């Protein structure tokens, strides 16, 4: 088995049956006063995905919306702690996240994710899993030169020296989204403006109402 590649076998017993809850997603959305969706932030390392996702979460919180950020590094500390960064493991990482955020959407929560998710086919699988209207892809567009300037951990430098194999943008490809719902120029636009763009889009889509009262 190649280094960094987990040996995974997915099984589902014949006696496993999906249990339908008596409290429905629609019930939870009515209680929350907003729709539940997946907001999928994708982009290179250092493009500002996590920063933007958490800032949007704060903005939604101030609007009395129930939202939660799934951050790439945080998820790899637990749920996906057994995975490396090979193409196979990256695919499994995104598959797990997709299944998890789908459950949060069923729970009435606006699920924000911040993952490089470099491969278009993996993002497409999550979109198909989520269903029509429940997946909002936000491409955090940022030149790799800017990403490298922001890299306080020196990951890009180490990748260029060959110390980090399969590093996205250097030794592993990043497939730019062809038709994302929203493109945010995180390399040149102030964070507050980026947040406003995302929340404005959510209002436009009817995820949150045009006017929601902020917390006192």
Answer whether residue 169 is part of any domain.
yes
Higher pLDDT, 96 or 202: 202
The model's confidence at residue 26, banded by pLDDT at 50, 70 and 90, is very high
| Burial category of 125 from C-beta neighbours within 10 Å (exposed 0-12, middle 13-18, buried 19 and up) | middle
Query: What are the beta bridge partners of residue 70?
Result: 113
Answer whether residue 16 is part of any domain.
no
- pLDDT score, position 165: 87
* Number of domains into which the chain is organized: 1
Query: Within a 13 Å sphere around the CA of 46, how many CA atoms are in the beta-carbon half?
Result: 19
Establish whether 36 is a catalytic residue. Answer: no
The model's confidence at residue 43, banded by pLDDT at 50, 70 and 90, is very high
- CATH code assigned at 58: 3.40.50.300
| Residue 139 near residue 184 (C-beta atoms within 8 A) | yes
Answer whether residue 45 is part of any domain.
yes
Answer whether residue 133 is part of any domain.
yes
Percent of all residues in the chain with a pLDDT value above 70, rounded to a whole number:
81
Q: Is the pLDDT of residue 6 over 50?
A: no
- Catalytic-role residue among 45, 117, 171, 172: 117
Q: Mind listing the pLDDT tens digit for each residue in 129-146?
A: 998 789 999 999 999 999
Higher pLDDT, 132 or 161: 161
Answer whether residue 88 is part of any domain.
yes
Please work out, in degrees rounded to the nearest 5, the angle formed at the alpha carbon of residue 164 by the alpha carbons of 185 and 84. 90
Answer whether residue 15 is part of any domain.
no
Answer whether residue 63 is part of any domain.
yes
The H helix count followed by the E strand count for the chain is: 8, 5
Answer whether residue 142 is part of any domain.
yes
pTM score: 0.84
Q: Mind listing the pLDDT tens digit for each residue in 178-214?
A: 999 999 999 999 999 999 999 999 999 999 986 555 5
Q: Mind listing the pLDDT tens digit for each residue in 101-131?
A: 999 999 999 999 998 999 999 999 999 999 8
Q: Is the pLDDT of residue 5 over 50?
A: no
Q: Which domain holds residue 187?
A: 25-204
């Amino acid at each position: 088995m190649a280094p960094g590649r987990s040996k995974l076998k997915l099984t589902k017993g014949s006696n496993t049956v999906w249990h339908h809850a008596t409290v429905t997603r629609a019930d939870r959305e009515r209680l929350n006063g907003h729709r539940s969706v997946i907001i999928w932030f994708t982009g290179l390392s250092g493009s500002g995905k996590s920063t933007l996702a958490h800032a949007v979460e704060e903005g939604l919180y101030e609007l009395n919306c129930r939202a939660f950020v799934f951050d790439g590094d945080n998820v790899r500390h637990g749920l996906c702690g057994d995975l490396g960064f090979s193409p196979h493991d990256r695919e499994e990482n995104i598959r797990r996240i997709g299944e998890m955020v789908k459950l949060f959407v069923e729970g009435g929560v606006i699920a924000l994710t911040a993952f490089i998710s470099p491969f278009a086919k993996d993002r497409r699988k999550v979109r198909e899993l989520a269903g029509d209207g429940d997946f909002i892809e936000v491409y955090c567009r940022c030149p790799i030169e800017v990403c490298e300037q922001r890299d306080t951990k020196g990951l890009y430098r180490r990748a260029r020296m060959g110390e980090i194999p399969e590093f996205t943008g250097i030794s592993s490809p990043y497939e730019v989204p062809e038709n994302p719902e929203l493109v945010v120029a995180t390399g040149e636009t102030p964070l507050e403006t980026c947040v406003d763009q995302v929340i404005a889009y959510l209002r436009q889509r009817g995820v949150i109402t045009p006017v929601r009262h902020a917390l006192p």
